[in-house]
Structure 1
Amino acid sequence: MTMHQAGFDQEFAGKTVVLTGGTQGAGKAIYDRLKTAGADILTAGRSSKPDDLEHGPYIQADLTDPADVKRFGEAALSHFGHVDILIHVVGGSTAPSGGFAVIDDDIWMQELNLNLLSAVRLDRIILPAMIRNGQGVVLHTSSIQRQLPLHDATTAYAAAKAALTTYSKSLSKEVGPKGIRVNSIAPGWIYTDAAKAMVSRIAKGGNMTEDAARQSILDALGGISLGRPAVPDEIAELVAFLVSQRASAIHGAEYTIDCGTIPTV
């Protein structure tokens, strides 16, 4: 039985949502899931509005830039008047491989701006309005790499996500008494279009099949208990639950969704 068949097909009707990273990957799946359930969503991206995005408000913005974060946040408040749900998905890493020695200050700041400070800055703009209304939901997207960093290429990314998880927990303690629920999720490998392209590159570069290339990634992660990565729709379903009234008692928590990649408690 799908969630829609279970009677939650319009559970976000009348809800206003601000979503970062909603143009591709898991973010796009979240956008589609909430939009189908009746939400009014504003999202942002570095490029012009994608053709496959549902009709709705959109801001072209680079959320690593504090000025663009401010412009996006103020546009959201101006457009909606109030925000019910704020979901941070934007993130990633462009750091080169080579370990700690090749991560200079510029790379560190790029990773921190994208994976930590974009959320911190947007929260500062949106949360005061939520507090005035006495209600709201904030969801941050961390990563299992906060527990399982890959030292060759993602040390800065992992550190930024660890900081985001800690920030999220601290924020929950501060704003929970004011009616705002704050949680985070920690995805593992998600099989997005970008992940598929990476598999193809590895297969081509290593003169191997795509199945072998996928297995090489699984091996690098130490194995995944379910034998596969999560898909974007699975991430979207977890997010839809956590930002809904069905999760009204869940606060200050982080949910791992990694198909069993983390092998310990």
Structure 2
Amino acid sequence: MAHTTKLNTDLTGKTALVTGGTKGIGKAIADELAAAGARVIISARNAPSAESTHHFIAADLTNAQQASSLARQINDEFGGIDMLINNVGGLTTPGGGYSALTDKHWEDELQLNLIAAIRLDREFIPVMTARRNAVIIHISSIAARQALWNLNLAYAVSKSALNSYSKALATELASKGVRVLTVSPGATKTPPMEKFIADYAAAQNIPEESALAQLLQQTGGIPMGRMAEPEEVASLVHYLVSPAASYLTGSIYAIDGGALPVVS
């Protein structure tokens, strides 16, 4: 049967959960999906600082009980979801290489950037397979393919593991009506990124502009000459969850202004 959905990015009638959806990339994704017609639920540890039109549920997804409670509440109140955007995550560990990282650092980074997504996937997949035409998006990072030992070792490893998990899950669910895709942003203008630059500048006792230049130099720079806007990442996610991308699953999409110096 021929498919005629290639230009259809309308999400009317769909329900989405965006974790870490109160600021930065998560907020931009939530706003984008809602503008396309989706009913959007957002989750984070703390409520949005500004008024939001999205349904908010507080949850710390590094806590297994809170993750299960979030899923139960959504399944009971909304009858499940069609789109799960696993956006929660971040770089929380110190730089300095292997000797600066304790077991606790590694465990915390894996909980935040890998296990939180695995937990929610496990909670929602049974309902999503029953609904069919569902999509899971894992927000990763180009750091997964370009680890910097002195800056983001544990974070990069956790995101690399997320990429491998996402690929395997996509293969498992491909025949069950659930697509699984990974989006890997590069440097993006978000509050966590701004704080990271400010902290690095303070540690090096240099201006923030110089800190940013040093950080980008370590990764080879950004050919497009600027960081991404959160809304640009959101636009990619919108396309991937839409009917227009109905034949896409298992792929990793870097959105980095050409920063990764590799072919694939």
User: Structure 2-normalised TM-score?
Assistant: 0.91
Q: How does 1:53-202 map to 2 (within 5 A)?
A: 53-202=51-200
> Is the Cα–Cα contact under 8 Å of residues 171 and 182 in structure 1 kept in the other structure?
yes
State, as a whole percentage, how many aligned pairs show the same letter: 40
2:22 partner SS = coil
Between 207-216 and 252-261, the greater mean CA deviation after superposition: 207-216
Does the C-alpha gap of structure 1 residues 205 and 119 become closer, same or farther in structure 2, counting only changes over 3 Å? closer
Deviations 1:208-264 (A, max 9, x none): 554333322211222111121111011000000000111111111110111111111
Q: Residue type matched to 1:187 in 2?
A: P
**Separation in 1, partners of 2:195, 2:154:** 23
**Cα RMSD for the two superposed structures:** 1.9
Which residue of the partner structure matches residue 21 of structure 1? 20
1:213 is the counterpart of 2:211: yes
What is the CA-CA distance between 1:205 and the residue it aligns to? Answer: 6.0
**Separation in 2, partners of 1:180, 1:120:** 15
**Separation in 2, partners of 1:161, 1:169:** 12
What is the CA-CA distance between 1:200 and the residue it aligns to? Answer: 4.3
Structure 1: runs of 5 or more not aligned: 1-6
Q: Residue type matched to 2:21 in 1?
A: G
Which residue of the partner structure matches residue 11 of structure 1? 10
Q: How does 1:238-257 map to 2 (within 5 A)?
A: 238-257=236-255
**Separation in 1, partners of 2:158, 2:124:** 21
1:181 partner SS = strand
**Separation in 2, partners of 1:75, 1:238:** 28
> Is the Cα–Cα contact under 8 Å of residues 23 and 53 in structure 1 kept in the other structure?
no
1:17 partner SS = strand
**Separation in 2, partners of 1:159, 1:56:** 32
Deviations 1:83-142 (A, max 9, x none): 111111111121112211221111111001000000001000000001122331111011
Does the C-alpha gap of structure 1 residues 204 and 160 become closer, same or farther in structure 2, counting only changes over 3 Å? closer
Does the C-alpha gap of structure 1 residues 76 and 64 become closer, same or farther in structure 2, counting only changes over 3 Å? same
**Separation in 2, partners of 1:100, 1:206:** 20
Does the C-alpha gap of structure 1 residues 150 and 203 become closer, same or farther in structure 2, counting only changes over 3 Å? closer
**Separation in 1, partners of 2:240, 2:143:** 21
Q: How many residue pairs were aligned?
A: 257
Does the C-alpha gap of structure 1 residues 103 and 233 become closer, same or farther in structure 2, counting only changes over 3 Å? same
Which residue of the partner structure matches residue 4 of structure 1? none
> Is the Cα–Cα contact under 8 Å of residues 146 and 162 in structure 1 kept in the other structure?
yes
What is the CA-CA distance between 1:155 and the residue it aligns to? Answer: 1.3
Structure 2: runs of 5 or more not aligned: 1-6
**Separation in 1, partners of 2:12, 2:71:** 22
Which residue of the partner structure matches residue 35 of structure 2? 36
**Separation in 2, partners of 1:18, 1:103:** 32
**Bigger RCO of structures 1 and 2 (CA < 8 A, at least 6 apart):** 2
Q: Residue type matched to 1:259 in 2?
A: G
Does the C-alpha gap of structure 1 residues 151 and 200 become closer, same or farther in structure 2, counting only changes over 3 Å? closer
Which residue of the partner structure matches residue 229 of structure 2? 231
**Separation in 2, partners of 1:204, 1:149:** 22
**Separation in 2, partners of 1:153, 1:207:** 16
1:186 partner SS = strand
